Amino acid sequence: MLGYFCASLDRSNVGMAATTMASALHFSNAQFGFGAGIFFVGYLIAEVPSNLVLARFGARRWISRMLMIWGIFSGMTAFVWNDWGFYTMRFVLGLAEAGYFPGVLIFISWWYPARYRGRATAYFMGAGVCASIFGAPIGGLLLQMENVLGLDGWQWLFILESLPAILTGVLVLGLLTDHPAEATWLPLESRRWLAERLAAERAQQEAVKRYTLWEALRGTKVWLLTFVEFGHQYAGYSLGFFMPLIVKGLGVERAWIGPVVAAPYIFGLVASIAWGRSSDRSGERIWHSVGTMFLVGAAVVACYFIGAGHPVLLMAALCVAVAANQSFAPCFWSIPGTLLTGTAAAGGVAMINAIGNLGGSVGPWLFGAARDATGSTGFALLCLAVGPVIAGVVLLLVGHDRRLEQVPPMPRTR
């Protein structure tokens, strides 16, 4: 959770930095959107290999390496001076961070039985939402550090917000436990019980179908899930990157941009945990995920009709869009972990995330280009609505699978 907080802090701070960085470096909306999104091209290249390495050698050392390296490159973004420098640093940052999110999803499957993965994923991802909640106000304060030691506020934002990732990398190396069998802080009976429970679930999954790595990477359902994740990220990162600029366009003063941007993510944090627990209780994953994607599309379309002339209603619609988008992930990411096991799970989950994350590159670029071309945030939001609606339709095509039938609730133990 600390690591994901750091990852999400970087993704929120680039949006906050845009409010002054873009003008200081003479970036257009399209240039900034392209630079923010090219991060995911580096992510695409390195993510599957990174996850396979993590599955082979363990989470502790590999996650620690990722945190420390991406923290260093995030801080170095403070010293770019033109668009190509920005593109390069974001691309390298994507290479460095690749594999963290899907690696943790695999790590969760090593520890949590299927019935509890929705809420476990929601808690984990809640740390990212907290980064959006607290990162925006903190970023707003850091932006006011103009001309401190000769640096602009946006430069201090990148430098100071890179330090938590480096420190967390050190903590992970010293404290993370790879598998339940190694958890000396658990009683021996508990370790055995958990290991047996997870082994029984894996055997139940593989009795239906056991995928090899190659079968997983070329399987139709995995590619459909990849396209669904593309639509999810298309909407999520467009909202995340441009939310500060949308709020600024409503006439909000600089000092209040951070707190206002944080509001939708507070709703998102509460909604995602509640929705993940609902999915766990019912054992249903598909409709829980589809419903959130349709709601994102509807909320964004509502923003177009509301317009900037009604800022309170517009922010309410954005709160619904962000909350629905955040609630999608805990339910959705329980699906591939139930369909796939072993190396196939490591590679398949990484591929879904890596290619799906390209939506985080296309979305911000298209949003910025539409905003530049029309001068209208409303039209750009209307373009944004297409991705999640199509994602919901595609997820319906995945259909039902016997492995998505959750095992009975786990008995309570002392």
DSSP string, 290-316: HHHHHHHHHHHHHHHHH-TTSHHHHHH
Kindly state the average pLDDT of the residues 195-224: 75
User: How big is the CA angle at 163 (ends 352 and 138), to the nearest 5 degrees?
Assistant: 90
Looking at residue 198, what is its pLDDT? 87
* Whole-number Å distance between alpha carbons of 315 and 322: 10
Distance of CA 214 to CAs 103, 333, 340, 341, Å? 19, 20, 12, 13
The residue assigned the tokens 């509807």 is 298
How many angstroms separate the CA atoms of 160 and 234, rounded?
Answer: 28
Q: Give residue for tokens 């209780």.
A: 281
Residue spans of alpha helices (H) in 39-187: 39-57, 59-76, 83-97, 100-111, 117-142, 153-160, 163-175
Average pLDDT of span 177-186: 88
Each residue's pLDDT tens digit, 314-354 = 888 888 998 898 899 888 888 887 777 667 777 788 888 87
Tokens of 4: 């994901």
For residue 252, the Cα-to-chain-centroid distance in whole angstroms is: 27
Residue 414 has pLDDT above 50, yes or no: no
Token pair, residue 160, equals 């100071």
Tell the residue number behind the tokens 């939310």, with chain if given. 243
Percentage, residues of the chain above pLDDT 90: 7
Mean pLDDT of 65-74: 89
pLDDT at 292: 92
The phi, psi pair for 148, rounded to 5°, reads -80, 120
Residue 20 dihedral angles phi and psi, to the nearest 5°: -125, -30
Q: What is the mean pLDDT of residues 216-225?
A: 78
- For 134-159, what is the mean pLDDT? 80
List beta partners, residue 151. Answer: 148
Q: Does residue 410 register a pLDDT over 50?
A: no
Euclidean distance between the first and the last CA atom of the chain, given in angstroms as a whole number: 26
What is the structure's pLDDT at 252? 73
For residue 221, pLDDT over 70 is answered with yes
* 246 vs 119, more confident: 119
Handedness of CA 94, 126, 353, 227 (dihedral sign): negative
Q: Give the mean pLDDT of 302-313.
A: 81
Tokens 């994953």 sit at which residue? 285
Average pLDDT rounded to a whole number, residues 25-50 = 78
Are 190 and 323 within 8 A, CB to CB?
no
Where do we find the tokens 């972990």? 337
Q: What is the mean pLDDT of the chain?
A: 81
Tell me how far apart the alpha carbons of residues 350 and 382 are, in angstroms, rounded to a whole number: 30
pLDDT band at 45 (very low <50, low <70, confident <90, very high): confident
Q: What is the Cα–Cα distance from 175 to 254, expressed in whole angstroms?
A: 40
Instruction: Name which residue leads in pLDDT, 248 or 165.
Output: 165
